[in-house]
């Protein structure tokens, strides 16, 4: 179990999960309902199954690339801890569990489940032909707040779409930062990423613009929530301000000539930002 949790980097669930939960509670608040514990559990399971399938498939597909990259050759498949066949079976099982779980939510989620899987699994191919791969990864995580909303409301709305777009640009932006450490390797292997295509300085600038887009979308989404769902909103605004402040912080600690704190910017800063945002926003909605 420990090896499989490491394979899918289960700790990275902190990126999208708080946004999914925030979207879920906004939806039930808007409809004036109490917490649907059954639906909440199904949403959580969908998050776990979809993300586990996506990460394991990425590790399976990249196993030969990871084996020659000094930074990734210790991962479970190239290191021989988990066999490629076992990883692929793990992917298939999680995909099936995801689809079955959506059946118990509602028909719309069930019919859209293959689309969601196509996005989250398809990302793994994109680094082979386009530097837009970071945006595809962001799109995969952006489905979390939209899916959680659909589980409650059964229809689309602007609030989850705006938060989804914010997540898309946020994840794409910090994935660009994470890819900085593989810039030379990606070039040598003819892999596509913004750092390998544009260079480190330009890639960092693109990441900054993406996060400016995140800021604009989160502020606009917050205004819609304030006018449509909650009467207070002060905790939501604090949550948004803290989140955006930590985005600024990660750009301050990563420089073109100093990539020593890339991992801190990638996981620690973004993980804390997402958890704080979700906690404060949900508290606002429940009080």
7-51 pLDDT, tens per residue?
667 666 788 999 999 999 999 988 887 888 999 999 999 999 999
Query: Is 17 within the bounds of a domain?
Result: no
Instruction: Over range 84-100, report the average pLDDT.
Output: 96
Closest by CA position to 175, among listed 123, 122, 128, 216: 123
Taking CA 136 as the corner, what is the angle to CA 111 and CA 252, rounded to the nearest 5 degrees? 135
- What tokens does 215 get? 């800021």
In angstroms, rounded to a whole number, what is the distance separating the alpha carbons of residues 38 and 19?
19
Query: Is 34 within the bounds of a domain?
Result: yes
Query: Is 30 within the bounds of a domain?
Result: yes
Query: Is 8 within the bounds of a domain?
Result: no
Query: Is 1 within the bounds of a domain?
Result: no
This prediction's pTM: 0.94
Question: Any idea what the CATH number is for the domain that residue 197 is in?
Answer: 1.10.357.140
Query: Is 87 within the bounds of a domain?
Result: yes
Please, which residues have CB within 8 angstroms of residue 208's CB and are 6 or more apart in sequence?
173, 251
Total count of domains within the chain: 1
224-250 pLDDT, tens per residue?
998 877 666 789 999 999 999 999 999
Cα–Cα distances in Å, from 284 out to 136, 145, 149, 215, 233? 31, 17, 18, 20, 6
Query: Whole domain around residue 239: which residue ranges?
Result: 22-286
Query: Is 13 within the bounds of a domain?
Result: no
């Amino acid at each position: 179990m420990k090896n499989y949790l490491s394979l899918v980097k289960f700790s990275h669930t902190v990126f999208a999960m708080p946004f999914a939960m925030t979207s879920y509670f906004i939806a039930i608040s808007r409809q004036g309902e109490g917490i649907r514990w059954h639906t909440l559990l199904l949403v959580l399971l969908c998050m776990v199954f979809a993300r586990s399938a996506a990460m394991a498939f990425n590790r399976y597909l990249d196993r030969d690339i990871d084996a020659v990259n000094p930074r990734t050759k210790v991962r479970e498949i190239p290191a021989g801890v988990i066999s490629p066949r076992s990883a692929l079976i793990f992917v298939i099982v999680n995909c099936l569990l995801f689809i079955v779980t959506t059946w118990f939510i509602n028909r719309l989620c069930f019919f859209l489940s293959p689309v969601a899987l196509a996005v989250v699994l398809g990302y793994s191919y994109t680094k082979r032909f386009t530097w837009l791969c970071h945006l595809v990864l962001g799109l995969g995580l952006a489905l979390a707040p939209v899916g959680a909303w659909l589980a409650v409301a059964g229809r689309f709305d602007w609030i989850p779409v705006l938060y989804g777009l914010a997540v898309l640009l946020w994840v794409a932006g910090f994935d660009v930062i994470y890819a900085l450490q593989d810039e030379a390797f990606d070039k040598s292997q003819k892999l596509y990423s913004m750092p390998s295509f544009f260079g480190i300085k330009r890639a960092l600038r693109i990441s900054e613009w993406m996060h400016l887009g995140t800021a604009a979308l989160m502020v606009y989404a917050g205004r819609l929530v304030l006018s449509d769902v909650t009467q207070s909103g002060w905790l939501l605004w604090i949550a948004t301000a803290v989140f955006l402040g930590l985005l600024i912080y990660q750009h301050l600690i990563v420089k073109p000539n100093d990539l020593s704190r890339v991992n801190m910017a990638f996981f620690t800063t973004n993980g804390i930002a997402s958890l704080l945002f979700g906690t404060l926003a949900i508290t606002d909605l429940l009080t």
